[in-house]
Structure 1
Amino acid sequence: MNPLNQRVILRNPRIVTLVLVLGLAASLVGALAARRFQVKATRARVEQEAVIAQENLHYTIQAYRDILMGFRGHSTAALGLNRDRFHQYFASLDLRTHHPGLLSVSYGVDIPGADRDRAERDLRREMGDPAFAIHPPGVRPRYFVLLFAEPRESNRTSIGRDTRTIPGQGLDIDRARDTGALVLTGPMKVLQYDGPDPGLLMRLPLYHGAPATLEERRSTFLGCINGAFRVQDLIAEALGKETLRKLDVAITDAGPWGDPGPARQLYGAPLAEGRKLERTVEVFGRIWNFEFRARPEFAGTAEWSLPVGIGACGCLITLLLWGLMTSLVQTGQRARLMALHMTGQLREEESRTEAMALAVPDPMAVLDEDGRFLRIYGQHPRVLGAAPAALLGATIPQVLPRDAADSLLGAVRKALDTHRLQTAVFELSTPEGRCDFEGRILRMGQPLDGKACVVLSIRDITERTRAEEIARTKQKLESLGVLAGGIAHDFNNFLTAILGHVNMAQDLIEPDSVAAPMLRRAEASVLRAAELAHQMLAYSGRGSLKVDLLDLNLMVMEMTELLSVSIAKKADLEFHLEPGLPMIMADAVQVQQVVMNLVTNASDAIADRTGSIAIETRLLVADRAFLEARFPGQGLEPGTYAMLLVSDTGCGMDAETRKRIFDPFYTTKATGRGLGLSALLGILRGHKAGIYITSAPGQGSRFEILFPSAGPAPGRDLSGASAAAGATPLTGLALVADDEPMVRSIVADFLEHRGMEVLAAADGQEALELFTLHRGRVDVVLLDITMPRMDGNEAFRAIRALDPQVPVILLSGFSARDVATPPPGTAPALFVQKPFRTVDLEEAVRKVRRA
């Protein structure tokens, strides 16, 4: 703005006044608009919270439905369902901890009026309670009697209660019986608490068989699995404290869907008219009306603070602008004097900057907006691999390779646009080898020759990047080891439960059953999965490898299908296996890894071309001269070997690649990690095997591997399982402790199936308390190693202190190295690796009890 315009503005006060009025009006309009926006935003947040609250309530009720379906499935699957089994299943779910809204889960049976006396006598005998009676007394057409109810402490008075006498419940029972689906009642008084607020009931019918029609459902109806809930607890669990702190919530029940009646209040008090949100949803066949309203603390101060802030800021800006316009002439001369002063300071600063640039160890340069080197600071013989004189006047694309030039030039342009420090990392091939550089670029405050310029600092970070890469790789491998150990331990627990159920199913069916071969295949699959879990434990340092006699031909044949789907589509897989091959001592999983790595590398060498991969086995008798000539320095002794050969017609390898093929992290693949062949070499060394490679560019590759012979395969005794299965039943009292409910349940069920009584504990502390309570009666103790509160080793030592002669079996998904050593002179202690077959567990129990 020139001085003439400044004088015009100052001499015309109406312009200044107009600016002031318009600014204040705009501030008021902005404040009103902000207020309207904040009100809309608050309503949108209330709608979002309402949707989340409805979804959470729906999911919570669905979870309760799933719990009841689980009880129904357990009741249907468990032969001879009784009160103790019902209680054990309830206790295993820990429902009061995870679902505090659930007051009880009960099992009720339907009894015709004519059968009351007979049913009452049968139920007294079945429940072992001579005082059991259906109450309240009286003659009625039908009775619906609660037999089991959990938790027992708060449901003792409900046992034997005819719930058809409670108003409204008879209709819900009949509706569940006739529909075959879960029925959710309206708000009502429930037996489990005396509070004034209502409760809800869920009923899930049980039938004898699978009826399809109404008549069949009525004739085969047995009873219902019932869930009782307190509405206050249910809503608090579903919506959570945070939602209830933000919103006022009211819920009414309008009756069954399609047949609504007068609304009854479920939760909260009806909300007054105003800024409230209403929703109507269908919840398991009933109509629920929701009302939501934001509490003052939910809306907060934003509805008025932001509009007031905007209005205040607008007024302040208007006043500042008005004051600025009145002082333009006075500040003009002051600005010119300040500019002259700052120019002198900038020149002094430039001189200091140049001196500092000469003192720092990193080269520095000034580049214009075209990426041209205008000036280079520092006494450095080479900058970016070239002499400084060769860079002056040249642009970045003229002196650097394309990738490095694009990265550095992009950072220069971004620094010019954003006025912020930018960093570019790139690599160059220099006479010293491949080097990594970091460029730091910052825009200069003043242009040079009319062009915007930047300052570039160049640092050689080759050593730093290599150190960081090594550290990242080491950390990744350590993390993978920890992860592999944790996953393997959890898998072993799951596999123990699966294998136990399979073995128990094998005991329960006839040998010629059509399910027998299926269960054998399932058992074999679980054992194969267990081998993989043991391999993962070995990788993590928490396990040991399983070395056994191995038929190389049989192992390759078993991998045929896996190898076929693992290679390129245009590659043909050929097998030439020599019969009569000797057995080798090896870990089957590791040898499978060797074969898989060689075949996948051969497939990668063929890529998208047409080619073939051949897998051969041969018997080789090698003398010392042959081994020293073909396998020098590998420590192989003369003798008989089983040879594995993998060859391909792929691209082959040059001498440099063959030299580095076993280096960790070296790979020629774009997406490879370079770990396959280095791991292969480690496996072969562990098996005292040798390897020989022949390859040339364009002529494919050939890998020859020698495994020392271990002689012919020994015969396998398969009679152990059948002998164990037909052995004398087990007797006595067993204490089983495992924090995994699935494992604890299957071990307890199996031992009970074999004739023992079982005490079950969820951790070592509970096991010690049970052992102390039943001291002198416990015949054998089975402890998991990894448990909360008190682990298996601690419980083992504590039990040994109480009774040194009680037999103990320690179980773990990890290896035996984690097991404590029993004190001298005490009863034996065995270790059983998870997963285990039930026959192995029975053999261990018999062994420690015989010792």
Structure 2
Amino acid sequence: MLGHAEIAGDALPAQPGRAAEHIGLLVQAGGRAREIAGQILDFGRRGRSSRCTSAVDAVILETVAQIRASTPGPDTIQLSGSAEGARVGGEPAQLQQVIHNLIRNAVQASEPGAAVDVRLDPVSLTGARALTHGTLRPGAYVRIRVSDTGRGMDEATLARIFEPFFTTRPAGTGLGLATAFEFVQEHDGAFDVRSAPDRGSAFAVWLPVIPQDPGRAAAGGTVMLVGRTRRSVQDDEETLAALGYEPVGYADPEAALAVLRREPGRFDLLIVDNDLAELSGIAFAHRAARISGRPIVLSLSAPDAVQPEMLAAVPVADIVRRPWRSNALAVTLRRQLASAHPARRPAAVP
């Protein structure tokens, strides 16, 4: 990194092309250094997330969407199945890193454009089950399976895949799978790995479902969504449902206001896009606040610029930035629901 920075500095201003090339390499090296440092820090953090839980559907949807956005052939990553709203132990960011590592490894082991399958299934075990890397007790589990048709692995490689610092890639650190294995072990799960040379690989993560008592199942609350298009509203509804909320979406702000007038106490919280079809989200918030005293969260796209003094003058309790990150969104909603209903305990969303 220092070498590229020095060369870029020497090349300016006489050789801007050469400087730009080395600045690009500097950024690339910095990203790689951040990745390696993050993996080293993640490895060995056992026991720090035992009190957290994650909504599996939301974490997987977000992870797959992120990888698709950075993959030349996004349609090659195929997601199917559902965890049916199940929650598992661990921080969402850590579970996301586990799935990210598995999908990235599958993509790298495959030919360009070859399909990588990600499958979610709820599984109930009536007896103990021995997997390739761990034994499960009877109970309810979520199985997250990532499979590819790539080059596969021989038995010698399979025996070492979860060893720290073992890697078959020149640019690899050997910490991705080791960290994933540590996370799964910490939360009483197990891996089932199947592979053969030239026949692809399948990594299945089994994690026990965290039971939810019936009294907390609906504690997430009912959320009104007001968006620009029906399609965007449907996508947001899926995200909120995966986090344990009951979303009710509207692409017509006037229709949403009419519902608020009829049933002002129906919703626990409102999420409003700043860019609506017929008026701004702030204008909608002004009108909605006169009808209902529920918290209003304004959803802003990356280019949106709203001055702090403007927000201070409108009835907006908080903002969330798009693209939504499930973890940050859940924290914001939980905070606002807790302040609006201090006697009520919201669901333990991630």
TM value normalised by structure 2: 0.48
TM value normalised by structure 1: 0.21
Select the structure that is richer in helix.
1
Highest relative contact order (Cα 8 Å, sep 6+), 1 or 2? 2
